[in-house]
Chains A and B, each alone.
Chain A
Amino acid sequence: MGNEMIKASNLTKIYNKGMTTEVYAVNDISLTINKGEFISIMGASGSGKSTLMNILGCLDKPDSGTFLLEGEDVMKLDDDQLAGIRNRKIGFVFQNFNLLPRTTSLENVELPLLYSDVHNIKGRAMEALKEVGLLDRAHHHPNQLSGGQQQRVAIARALVNDPDIIFADEPTGNLDTQSSYEIMNILQKLNKKGRTIVIVTHEPSIAEQTNRILEFSDGRIIRDSINNDIKDSGAELERIKKGGKPDEKA
């Protein structure tokens, strides 16, 4: 158990329960995620992959099943205890960045620390911004940043609490190719430093950059494969910057 980040058994989440539109968004899923893994969950939209990620990220509760996060039974926790778990152990990155408007990068990154016991709020936030290479954009507002930069601010926000696991829901979904590789490059580096990362994506070229791929359809995992041929986002990024075309990406 020592190496297990997440151990989930028979998770089920049903929308519109009892109605004719009843949907099994997550259907009897059992899953173990080990520390240090970099996992992508793939599937068409509506396949339930985001719902699964929200459950794993303690944002949503399953209707049935068991879910241990680092050995702790999350199902037994109340809303405030879950908030504490999200604050200390989990970082989120969203498809549309979810930065507060009219608020500087620095303040956006500080946000999780406002709800923690950390005292050196500004210092920690600056450190996180440095890690994503945006120290010089600390006092810019989101509307003064490119999409890629905004997503890097969001990653800094996810990092700032030093979480055990980072969940990213379509982190490159709204970005151009180069920005996508920049984001993936940052995530790969974070993973190499030992952080567990789970991303949701529907692009195979993104999934190829992770070491385990879960394919999802109609609320079930239809394939769970280890990717032994991880594409190095850093090398890919260099190629794009020199004007070359990226592999496979349409």
Chain B
Amino acid sequence: MKKLKSMAVAFNSLGKNKLRSFLMMIGIIIGITAITIIISMALGSKAQIMERVERFGTDALNVFGMAMRAPGSGPRGRPTSSLKLGDAQAIEMNVDNISVVAPMSMRWGADVRFEDKYLRSMLSAVTEDFIHMWDWNMEYGDFITRLDDERLARTVVIGPTVKDEFFPEENPVGRTIKIENVPFEIKGVLAGTGQSAGGRDMGNTVIIPLNTYLRRVANTETIDGIRIKVKNSRHLDKTAEDIKEVIRESHGIMDGQEDDFSLITPTEVREFSEHISGTFNVLLIIVAGISLIAGGVVVANIMLISVSERKFEIGLRKSVGARKSDILMQFLFETIAVTVTGGAIGVLLGILGAFLFMQFGETPVAISWEGIAIGLGFSIIVGILSGIQPALKASKMAPIEALRS
């Protein structure tokens, strides 16, 4: 009952000093808004990472024909690869726990034409096994076969985006399109493929036999990568080690020399993505934390001034029977009420901000109860920390000293 009365007194007093209350809130509002947005973005990117790992496949390994290098350092386009088709065969023959080995080459922005229409698509050069990796279905026709590959057939499977662009109304199987000026006959059309982990339109793709690509288009011996699906993902790490050994042997790499290829596991994909978004989040949380501390200092200062200004009120309350604890609770509740109100406004603004980021930015966000709870929790903590000193000062005033002012 007494506590409720103190709370009522506190809210009453705040309402009578709207400007002061608002000034106290600003810092808290900014801090909590920032924290809410950060939490929404952190959760959003966490969801994105999980999705990326899932798309990558939790039971798949990728080998690339280059040593791992920092993103964006080498030239874009066609860095030379160290992998050859023989590596894929060596893996298939020498490593246990493997269900599918799919060697491939990729080229982004390949020139694809039909009559006067033009597209820049992703060119994938793959083998028959590739379709088993991705659980894709055919809309029309068939996927590339081993025979196509052996015969260096100029056949192509196109994605739905390419089909819609070139042949919106018809079944295009049997028609001929040009890829990098080489004519290819359409053998099949993929059903919906969705987006890649990076948000790229997977439907905008043309898929040709790997050997056809190597001999007729790129004129090269090397392939870009090998995607390997394991039978039992529990032994993924062991299998990855085995694969590394096989490739090192086939490339003649001595002990102590570095790999001339890189092997990427689902764990690494997750760790790398988390590392990037983690660094970003730590920085933002530091900034938000600093603004909250600054906000708390402002609140503490204004409350201290307010205690001096309201000496008379404190003296009066004490003269009519308020005990130390009544005054302490009143001022503490006042501070907490300010910071929690500020925190609630901050949470609302933060959610609004997160929505805006989602609408207009590339950043994925997720709005969650955790975010709201953390925001409000922080504002209560800031309220207690910044309110305790002024409240103690107020409660210790002697009634007669306070009344004399």
Residues of A near any B CB (own CB < 8 A): 54, 57, 59-60, 79-80, 83-84, 86-88, 92, 94, 98, 100, 102-103, 107, 111-112, 114-116, 157, 161
Q: Please, how many angstroms separate the alpha-carbon atoms of A103 and B9 in the complex? A: 11
Q: Please, how many angstroms separate the alpha-carbon atoms of A205 and B365 in the complex? A: 78
Q: Please, how many angstroms separate the alpha-carbon atoms of A84 and B320 in the complex? A: 9
Inter-subunit contact A86/B324 (CB<8 Å):
no
Inter-subunit contact A103/B320 (CB<8 Å):
no
Q: Distance (Å) between the CB of B402 and the closest chain A CB?
A: 10
Q: Please, how many angstroms separate the alpha-carbon atoms of A157 and B321 in the complex? A: 12
Residues of B within 8 A of A115 (CB): 2, 5, 317, 320-323, 326
Inter-subunit contact B16/A83 (CB<8 Å):
no
Inter-subunit contact B324/A80 (CB<8 Å):
yes
Inter-subunit contact B320/A111 (CB<8 Å):
yes
Using known A-B contacts A86-B319, A92-B319, A114-B5, determine if residue A98 contacts B326 with beta carbons closer than 8 Å: no
Q: Please, how many angstroms separate the alpha-carbon atoms of A87 and B313 in the complex? A: 16
Q: Give the contacting residue for B320; candidates A60, A102, A112; CB below 8 A.
A: A112
Residues of A within 8 A of B5 (CB): 114-115
Closest residue of chain B to A103, judged by CB? Answer: B16
Interface of B is mostly: helix
Inter-subunit contact B318/A83 (CB<8 Å):
yes
Whether, in the assembled complex, B95 has its beta carbon less than 8 Å from a beta carbon of chain A, the answer is: no
Residues of B within 8 A of A84 (CB): 321, 323
Q: Please, how many angstroms separate the alpha-carbon atoms of A60 and B319 in the complex? A: 10
Inter-subunit contact A98/B16 (CB<8 Å):
no
Q: Please, how many angstroms separate the alpha-carbon atoms of A80 and B324 in the complex? A: 7
- Jot down 15 A-B pairs with beta carbons below 8 A, ordered by A: A59-B400, A59-B403, A79-B323, A83-B318, A86-B321, A87-B320, A92-B319, A92-B320, A94-B403, A98-B403, A100-B316, A103-B16, A114-B322, A115-B323, A157-B320
Whether, in the assembled complex, B312 has its beta carbon less than 8 Å from a beta carbon of chain A, the answer is: yes
Whether, in the assembled complex, B399 has its beta carbon less than 8 Å from a beta carbon of chain A, the answer is: yes
Inter-subunit contact A86/B16 (CB<8 Å):
no
Residues of B within 8 A of A157 (CB): 320
Using known A-B contacts A59-B403, A114-B9, A115-B317, determine if residue A102 contacts B323 with beta carbons closer than 8 Å: no
**Chain B contacts with A in 281-331, Cβ cutoff 8 A:** 312-313, 316-326
Q: Give the contacting residue for A112; candidates B313, B321, B324; CB below 8 A.
A: B321
Q: Please, how many angstroms separate the alpha-carbon atoms of A132 and B180 in the complex? A: 101
Q: Please, how many angstroms separate the alpha-carbon atoms of A83 and B316 in the complex? A: 11
Inter-subunit contact B400/A83 (CB<8 Å):
no
Listed from nearest, the 8 A-B pairs whose CB atoms lie closest are A87-B321, A112-B320, A115-B321, A80-B323, A83-B323, A60-B400, A102-B16, A59-B400
